[in-house]
Amino acid sequence: MKIAFIGLGNMGGGMAANLVKAGHEVHAFDLSGEALARATDNGCATYTSVRESVQGAEAVVSMLPNGKIVESVYGADVIGQAPASALLLDCSTIDVDTARKVEDAARAAGYKMVDAPVSGGIAAANGGTLTFMVGGSDAAFARAEPILAAMGKAVIHAGASGTGQAAKICNNMILGATMIATCEAFALAEKLGLDLQTFYDISSKASGQSWSMTAYCPVPGVGPQSPADNDYQGGFAAALMLKDLKLAMEAAHSVGAKTPMGARAEELYAAFAAAGNGGTDFSGIIKSL
């Protein structure tokens, strides 16, 4: 397929490269010249505007920083510019209301669109092992699934428009809170005189086990390779975790849901980022404990 890809940052660059590897013709755009150069090296054709990149596209994939930018890009440069037959796939993590607003506008103009945020981080984006949580109609999902499968290990239909975003922010609220609890437990275990590898060997096979512990351990030299082994660089930046937690709290407020653990996780990550750690991997919050 001829696929336009908008947004070639830490996540989007690897995703676009995997579409090329799958045999698609990728027309890429980003504001960064460096990102465009990498995309060229990865086999993408690059363009200097969104409008140019979407001409004649059979699908448009976007990976953008926030809802305001998503709404602006789709409103000004994708809807009415890409062929009406093109499938639109927004993989950004944004608020549910904006996702639904953009999809409503696309549908009114004759397009099929899905919101398809991801889980997995930079390594999964590069390796093609992302998990996609997809909101949209059955017909739109059926068209989106093979495109997303070229970039991920799991593509799951969450439901109607906006439910992909809902699943993403709920998932990352769990992740943020469990990472903090995991960090607290390792810090306490050390102060109590436990060898941290021994504690990992015990808890990873007991009821304290979680993804934060066994796949992304925040302690250097313990468990599988993780950003902790690289001085908490790479992976999923604390600023991005804070963004997702803020989205979760906004969503909770909009529907009257009580999320005390999510709210406390947001407070702790806000303090961690404000202390100059926004670019540090989110597991680096163990340093503040």
Whether 285 contacts 183, CB under 8 Å? yes
Amino acid at residue number 124: A
SS3 content of the chain, % helix, strand, coil (to 5): 55, 15, 30
* Pair of tokens at residue 213: 């512990």
Whether 21 contacts 44, CB under 8 Å? no
Q: Is the dihedral of CA 265, 271, 272, 273 positive or negative?
A: positive
How far apart (Å, rounded) are the C-alpha atoms in residues 92 and 70? 8
How far apart (Å, rounded) are the C-alpha atoms in residues 279 and 140? 35
Residue with tokens 């979680």: 210
Whether 67 contacts 94, CB under 8 Å? yes
Angle 173-174-178 from CA coordinates, rounded to 5°: 120
Active-site annotation holder among 2, 21, 68, 168: 168
Whether 136 contacts 112, CB under 8 Å? yes
Active site residue 168: yes
Q: How many of the other CB atoms lie within 10 Å of CB of 228?
A: 21
* 96-107 burial: b if 16+ Cβ within 10 Å, else e: bebbbbbbebbb
Distances (CA, A) of 184 to 44, 208, 215: 44, 12, 17
Residues 6+ apart with CB under 8 A from 23: none
- Positions marked active-site: 168
